[in-house]
Amino acid sequence: MALPRLPTLLAALALAPVLGPGGSWPLQAQEQVPATVLSIGDGDSLRVLQGGRPISVRLACIDAPELSQHPYGERSRQYLRTRLRIGSRVRLLPQTVDRYGRTVAEVIAEVNLGLAMVEDGQAFTYRRYLAACNQQDYLEAEFRASRHRFGVWERPGGIPRPWEVRWGRFSREISDVGLP
């Protein structure tokens, strides 16, 4: 049996109060964990204080532009910062721990922040990891954003997807040449 990677193991230990009975993942969908926002990393990651411990959170079901996808990555981060103030209280709907040791969770303030980001064109629905979320809500939000050409959809077909950029399929720089 292979041992878990150290970041994943450390995250699981730090999140012991978040884990379900017997330390299992994921929690039941209705189980929400209160937390306080410490910082915003980029358009789909933040740090929160939960159970007296700081943890890193990756927003579930979405993928925001990379910061290198100028100017969209920075716009996405700024959008999240305006919707989620440092020190504000949120509720987490944890799903799993990713390979980097981050808790993957839907983050709820007044609204579901991941869903709001997709609705306003600041992130894409991450179809590869959508199974634990309300798929229809995310896909419909993305359709509305693309139809109205909000944010990442201001170009026909949208900008290169962040996962494609990470995989090296597209240039990380996005030129503004040809935009209306």
Q: How far is Cα 13 from Cα 37, in angstroms, rounded to an integer? A: 20
Please tell me the pTM assigned to this model: 0.77
* Summary mean pLDDT of the chain: 83
Is pLDDT at 150 greater than 90 in this prediction? yes
Confidence grade of residue 170 (pLDDT, cut at 50, 70, 90): low
Strand pairing report for 62-63 and 33-42: unpaired
Extract the tokens encoding 56.
């890193």
Extract the tokens encoding 119.
């609705």
Is pLDDT at 5 greater than 90 in this prediction? no
Confidence grade of residue 107 (pLDDT, cut at 50, 70, 90): very high
What does the pLDDT look like over 25-36, one tens digit per residue?
444 445 899 999
Through-space distance between the first and last CA atoms of the chain, rounded to whole angstroms: 56
2.40.50.90, 1.10.1740.10, 2.10.10.90, 3.40.50.300: CATH of 29-166: 2.40.50.90
Strand pairing report for 124-125 and 45-50: unpaired
- Domain spans of the chain, in order of start: 29-166
More confident residue, 89 or 25: 89
Q: How far is Cα 34 from Cα 51, in angstroms, rounded to an integer? A: 8
